[in-house]
Amino acid sequence: MPRFSKAVSSLRSSEIRDLMTLASRPDVISFAGGMPGNDLFPVRDVEALFAQLDIRKKQAAFQYGPTPGLPSLLESLQGFLEKKGLPVHENRLLITTGSLQAISLLARAFIDPGDPVLVENPCFIGALSAFKSCGADLRGINVDSEGIAADELDDEVRRMPKAKFLYVTPYFHNPAGLLYSTERKERLIGSLRGRDIPLIEDDAYGDLYFHQEDALRLKPMKAINPEGIDICYTGSFSKILGPGLRLGWMLAPEEIYGKCELIKQSADACSSSYTQVLADEFIRSGLIYPYIEKVRQEYRSRAAGMLAALKRHMPGYVKWNEPRGGFYFWLTLPEGTDSTEILKLSIESGAVFVAGKTFDPAGKKNDTMRLSYCNNSAAEIDEGIPVIAEAVRKVCG
């Protein structure tokens, strides 16, 4: 019998990944995965950009590349991030195989088995899995409409043994869909300053805002560049170009960057040169900016469609956020409800979502549910939401 490590023996398949098998069934409408709309990908633009490259660049796209990333992409991505005010010249930029690899590299750099790690509750399932795979003791801190609960965070940063880091997703949070307020980010910075607890600031959705007036709230904490805190900023091309590229990045202080680069060398040697060339050309062409604006408006429309459907069909005891960007609605059911029972009924009738306990660091609280609108037509939303609402009524009355 194989004798697996303790770390791998404790791993469980993500409920989202399991549900993805249902998404391909033509008879099931999926609100489960945070998948960009297939119809929105800039296929023709990318084909044209690659076709016009000279033969040497095309050959380089098929070759191994440096572990940190292709120099050309590092340069163009620095320019893209500088427009957000990020301190790219005071830190090091590492290209990763999706932003989840960046999070996983940081987990491996910091966590020994049993180490406490601070996370939001609810929290991105990919991060939870990465931290658990390293044996972390996850300490979940609740979030409210403004961000992570400030008083709870103050208590946790004083606990011993000291947490290895805090992980947050402040910009159209996955799964809760919230956008941190400026005041809550300032409070978070104050809580961490001088505590020797690094911050991992995950910003996969910040470019997908619906309202220009939110621009100030979208300024990354890494751009504030506060003294006394090591901030590791992660991002991704997955939501602004395509997840199939499998490209993300990490902007981190030199010492942390160095450890993560060494770990990446042992993980995959380098990320895809082919997709790095495509991403670099997409940035340099200037096409990335109108493309982001286009998808931003489309997701705003889809979110409005789901909001209208929820208002029409959901019972009054179901509460939800109204997204100002990103991909998700986060629904709160009467306390103690088992959303897995709702999910089972919903699947039988042809619609799927993700039950709340998937995002609970303890894997217990289940009176919530996540619905994504990013990969659905208006017709699918109008057909699928009544199915879920009927399942809610059958379980909750």
Rounded CA gap, 240 and 178, in Å? 19
> Hunting for tokens 């939870």 — which residue is that?
128
d(CA 100, CA 248): 8
- Can you tell me the distance from the alpha carbon of 208 to that of 93, in angstroms, rounded to the nearest whole number? 22
* 220 upstream amide cis, omega within 30 of 0: no
Closest-CA residue to 296 (of 37, 82, 98, 17): 37
Q: Give 140's strand partners.
A: 119
Neighbours of 375 (CB within 10 A): 20
| Span 54-284 CATH architecture | 3-Layer(aba) Sandwich (3.40)
CATH 3.90.1150.10 boundaries in the chain: 6-42+290-396
pTM of the model: 0.95
The per-residue pLDDT for 21 is 64
Mean pLDDT of the residues in the chain: 94
302 Cα distance to chain centroid? 19
What count of other Cβ atoms lies within 10 Å of the Cβ of residue 147?
A: 23
Predicted local confidence at residue 16, as pLDDT: 56
**Strands 29-30, 147-148: parallel, antiparallel or unpaired by DSSP?**
unpaired
Assign domain 6-42+290-396 to a CATH class.
alpha beta
Q: Rounded CA gap, 288 and 228, in Å?
A: 34
pLDDT digits (tens, 9 = 90+) for 297-309: 999 999 999 999 9
On whether the CB atoms of residues 359 and 370 are closer than 8 A, the answer is yes
Q: Where in the chain do CATH 3.40.640.10 domains reside? A: 54-284
Distance CA 149, CA 219 (A): 20
Q: What is the pLDDT of residues 287-341, one digit of tens each?
A: 999 999 999 999 999 999 999 999 999 999 999 999 999 999 999 999 999 999 9
Confidence class for position 163, pLDDT limits 50, 70, 90: very high
